[in-house]
Chains A and B, each alone.
Chain A
């Protein structure tokens, strides 16, 4: 591994100051499951590692009247054990539960998954479906961006030098709203998504869809929101015909590549199937949600 200087600041201001004033190329660490591997491959100049886990609020999750507020560095194992989080965002918890092994979940965080910005990151479509907002602190102060603007490309995010992600906020879902996340992998465990879909659906007392948001992953450089799916669902019953149209919309919104885990053609088909199933599961959950 490349030589490193390690700091674990205890405040956001201290972290920002360290990153902004560093002479060394710097890296922010949450769970480290991606970062430590990347560091092992690096050669050359020493790097500064700023570990955010000691900062208050980085490893907590709380639910208030308006939102779920997630500390970006909270490990997935702790998140997925929280029954209150699971009751509110079962799809987000499903996504976090799919990241790596039990051991990896003991370290890997939703914030790290988001910042690492893999096209196949499991939590990103779930965050997009739930209209997550990213709170950022940096040398220029604080700002907030919707999650879909946070990820800007393969392995790229919108953070500029000295900035850190301080909180992921998921607005409290309205009545009869729920979410779901599905992915396809060739094995049953321990793999990376070949295609994925996250959906959040709101229905009324009569089962008519009142809000819908679908995001798909691993089929483009970043996860993408399928706006056409919302248009196809809102104001209608979630019938087989509607789901078939959603499936088509997801397939046509995708821009997949072929690689060793799947061909573009396969991904385009599978993402459509996952999209309609995720919508259907979220709608079913929404019927039962208060």
Chain B
């Protein structure tokens, strides 16, 4: 039996009918066609499906879609302001902090969550916080450079 889910995604009220065994990840991608959130491992190990749910960074593959009822969800689609990229996105481009791009939405969502919690992280703090976002291409160095650069720009702007 399908369940009716009413939730808020990136500030917009949305609803859909899903099977209760559907993960939030599959609900976002297959029902709501928000395919920016990627599936990597599907078991909470890689962070490609990172989203923010009621203020907490989570793996969308470890959340049931039905749990999103009444919750507020933030995904990669809500990071940029229309055509205006977020500073974190700009810095990922500037530092070439990606190759294949599968981990990038998750890393950007996680970086945003990190900087919301800790606007001035040390490199070590950033590395620990982002340890759940795996990247098979970059070796992480460029990612961390982009994160630290974005942090300093956002700090100066505030």
Interfacial residues, chain A to chain B (CB-CB below 8 A): 1-6, 8, 31-33, 36-37, 39-40, 49, 51, 53, 75, 77-78, 100-104, 106-107, 189-190
Contacts and interface: CB of A to CB of B under 8 A. Distances in A.
A101 B113 CA distance: 13
A220 B62 CA distance: 29
A264 B63 CA distance: 36
Interface string B1-16: 1010000000000000
Contacts of A4: 20-21
B57 interface: yes
Interface of B: 1, 3, 19-21, 23, 42-45, 47, 50, 53, 56-59, 61-64, 66-67, 110, 113-114, 128-133
Contacts of B21: 1-4, 39
A190 B67 contact: no
B20 A33 contact: no
Contacts of A53: 67
6 contacts: A102-B110, A102-B132, A103-B110, A106-B57, A107-B62, A190-B131
A57 to B, nearest CB: 18
Contacts of A78: 56
Contacts of B50: 103
Contact of B57 (A2, A36, A103): A103
B64 A6 contact: yes
Nearest to A6: B20
A32 B132 contact: no
Contact of A103 (B20, B42, B59): B59
A98 to B, nearest CB: 11
Given A32-B64, A103-B44, A103-B132, 8 more contacts: A33-B44, A33-B62, A39-B21, A40-B42, A101-B133, A103-B50, A103-B62, A106-B58
B7 to A, nearest CB: 14
Nearest to B53: A106
A57 B43 CA distance: 28
A6 B66 contact: yes
Contacts of A31: 62
Contact of B64 (A36, A75, A102): A36
B67 A51 contact: yes
A77 B20 contact: no
B47 A106 contact: no
B67 A103 contact: no
Nearest to B51: A103
A168 B74 CA distance: 31
B62 A49 contact: no
A103 B58 contact: yes
Contacts of B110: 102-103
A51 B67 CA distance: 9
Contacts of A190: 45, 131-132
Contacts of B63: 32, 36, 107
Contacts of B43: 37, 40
Given A51-B67, A101-B131, A107 B58 contact: yes
A75 B114 CA distance: 17
A94 B48 CA distance: 26
Nearest 7 interchain pairs by C-beta: A101-B132, A106-B56, A6-B20, A189-B131, A106-B58, A1-B21, A103-B59
A49 B56 contact: no
Given A100-B44, A102-B113, A104-B44, A75 B132 contact: no
Nearest to B66: A6
B126 to A, nearest CB: 11
A250 B70 CA distance: 48
A242 to B, nearest CB: 33
Contact of A102 (B42, B61, B129): B129
